[in-house]
Structure 1
């Protein structure tokens, strides 16, 4: 899959995720808005019912007071009726009715009604009406007087009136009733609005969101799972693309590595069959040695590939025996020294460990040292200066291989232990190998329960440090 196709898929998936997220947000927001509207309608109906109840109570109280006063004045009215019985015209009856209504309405003074509200009754009506609408929330309420410009009743208590509180921003800020969403006028008429009943729900927002919390959490969880799967898929795509590129690199290098010895063997075989060569025993032996050497070289490369296959399947059987690490290092230096000297370089050993004997597999420990020395030589174009050191550490021995080669970037350091990975040197075949050496080293160090660290800077060389335990863990 091309890089452009991968990025196109990622873009489509990203836009799809964003689209799903936006749709879910508006869907949940709409659900909350609908719940809020339904809640507001219920509260408004409840307040109107409370208002009607208060008006009914006020009218009944006014009627009662009116008839009490009327019973006191009734004898005088009867005497006047006897004296002026002959004046019972329609106009006088109408005038009498008007005066009666004026007298009765004097008991319904709006301001007075507002101040005479029974707190217990008001609290009872509010609670009853809200419960009838299935609203079970804590609330705060107050009766605001336009005359006094202050709350005269707050939450079941008569409030102390201290001047015009509307002019005090501190009072308004401290009293949540000033930001109440629900308000209804009480005892208002065409000429006068004495005040209003305010209702405030401190936990309204929390209540509304609690109705959709299940949907919200489910949405977040499933969106998170989709996002995780998407991210992991992107990671896998890029990782597989990288592995594919490294495998292609591996195949190209393997072809190159096998092509040279095969061509050499073919040429040597043809030479042996030549009549002029076959009669010359020394030349035949020389060509046979070339064939043998190239065959050994191919066998070594095949063994590396097979070893990595076994390591990957965890089928490697290690034979742990006491081995002297210094002896293995000396042998490896002897094998690598010729190539280093050919480039005009040097190998320096600082074998400072006092207890170099460890438990390990001699074959694989030797391969670890040889691989590190081989890399140090290969990745140092001119005059390699290689230093291999050992020292005692708690529980084992630490050895390091330092070179003055091309070094590695931080990105390269993250990948050097992956199979088939090779540090880019500008030419695919200028440094021979399959990209298996360091992955093999890491696998074998882990198999010996050791640790490996790398420090490197481009143009300044690299240092590989390996810690191997003195004793291996028993199962």
Structure 2
């Protein structure tokens, strides 16, 4: 049985560990995927807002440096198109469109885009004789130089506006977490590039464990770049994975709870099986004794002429009657066990003098004691408590019975009463054989008896202490036991004032 339970335990443990390991691996992979997606998203968002700001600034410069009429330079997407119409055209037009799909066709009258920049260049103007540039090529280079000067100068980058635009773009992409936007300088070092040397606050910094975007250039001439740093991406990612973590934790708790419940059920069934076997052994022994006694009395009457002696006949009949009555009581007790377990104990509390109750019990046990007993009652004469006289007396009687039965050739029993402002306690102390620590938590269970093998020196069904606990708890108290094998036991009944 123990080997089978041990095998079940290890199999279930392996199952739990396997499920938890799989869950942990699955969550880790999901976290890594979300982290990669987060990193890519914040990088794309930074590139987009930086491109918008640089293109917007370039449009502003084009409108300022070149002749023509301008529209607002705050669009989100723009392109520069240079077209020279006709082989003999005298003009080159530069179109700035906000809608890329509108750039594929030649602008038509009345159907021009709402936001555009048209720069007109007059090819009739005088130019150097040796100039190899054609009008369209010249205009393209002029525009490119303006854009590059604006980019390389780096003076028109508004870091505050870039940060606000970046935050807005992140929110549009459902990312709400703190970040820091810095301008950084990158220099090659020892044959390596992309080594972070200085941030915009001028303090030296080395590699950072925070999640950082790749640096994007804002002034490649001066090696000036912009970079975003996220201080708590893990917390943000874990918050986004909340339902995954919650579901996994719930599954873990349910699985572990089922495992513990099944293990507890198996152990309880094992314990019940042992208690059942002990009960059957005790019951068999208790029933066999009166049956054997009655059988012996009847044989004496039949085979040894006891019927011719009225006195002997009367004695044998009295013995048989007593044992049959005992047998009947045992059967009745077994039949009533289930009923007593379901039925609540009914109490009739009254003010009881503990000193008088203890004196009556001590006198009764001294009269029928099978061994020498020394009683000490440390109970004040005026000690009175509100209890059910019958049930509390029976509970105290059971404790004294156990102290006598589980002792050596003689026993010393002490009853001690203590009272304070919170309540009172009554202790039954003996110097008997004691109880092993292993069994102290189980002695108050129904049918439980400390294992003694096939020896039945003490008769009973393991119901006495269960009854004591039931009576004490119905009175609003609880019972404790302190015992050491070979030195005796102390049962403490604790009650609070109510």
CA distance in 1, matches of 2:367, 2:342: 36
Q: 1:256 to 1:125 in 2, by over 3 A?
A: closer
**Alignment partner, residue 194 of structure 1:** 223
Question: Which of 211, 214, 222 is equivalent to 1:183?
Answer: 214
CA drift of 1:115 comes to 3.7
CA distance in 2, matches of 1:181, 1:127: 15
**Alignment partner, residue 39 of structure 1:** 38
CA drift of 1:417 comes to 0.8
1:369 aligns with 2:369: no
1:346 aligns with 2:373: yes
More helix by share: 1
Q: Bigger CA drift: 245-254 or 17-26?
A: 17-26
Which digits, 9 at most, give the CA deviation of each residue in 1:410-431, with x for residues without a partner? 3322111111111234654233
Q: 1:429 to 1:126 in 2, by over 3 A?
A: same
Tell me which stretches of 4 or more aligned residues in structure 1 moved more than 6 Å: 61-68, 95-104, 391-397
Residue 382 of structure 1 aligns to a residue whose secondary structure is coil
Q: Bigger CA drift: 113-122 or 29-38?
A: 113-122
**Alignment partner, residue 379 of structure 1:** 406
**Alignment partner, residue 245 of structure 2:** 216
**Alignment partner, residue 179 of structure 2:** 139
CA distance in 1, matches of 2:210, 2:239: 22
CA distance in 2, matches of 1:130, 1:317: 71
Tell me if structure 1 keeps the 8 A contact 2:297–2:320: yes
**Alignment partner, residue 472 of structure 2:** 445
After TM superposition, list the pairs within 5 Å mapping 1:13-52 onto structure 2.
Answer: 13-52=12-51
Give the total of aligned pairs: 432
CA drift of 1:110 comes to 8.6
Which consecutive unaligned segments of at least 5 residues does structure 2 have? 68-124, 188-195
CA drift of 1:286 comes to 1.4
TM (norm. structure 2) is: 0.72
After TM superposition, list the pairs within 5 Å mapping 1:89-168 onto structure 2.
Answer: 92-94=130-132, 108=148, 113-119=153-159, 122-123=162-163, 126-127=166-167, 129-130=169-170, 133-146=173-186, 150-152=198-200, 162=202, 165=203, 168=204
1:9 aligns with 2:40: no
RMSD after superposition: 4.1
Residue 340 of structure 2 aligns to a residue whose secondary structure is helix
1:432 aligns with 2:459: yes
Residue 305 of structure 2 aligns to a residue whose secondary structure is helix
Which consecutive unaligned segments of at least 5 residues does structure 1 have? 69-76, 82-87, 153-158
CA drift of 1:54 comes to 5.3
CA drift of 1:51 comes to 4.5
CA distance in 1, matches of 2:218, 2:471: 92
CA drift of 1:266 comes to 1.1
TM (norm. structure 1) is: 0.75
CA distance in 2, matches of 1:432, 1:203: 71
Q: 1:309 to 1:274 in 2, by over 3 A?
A: same
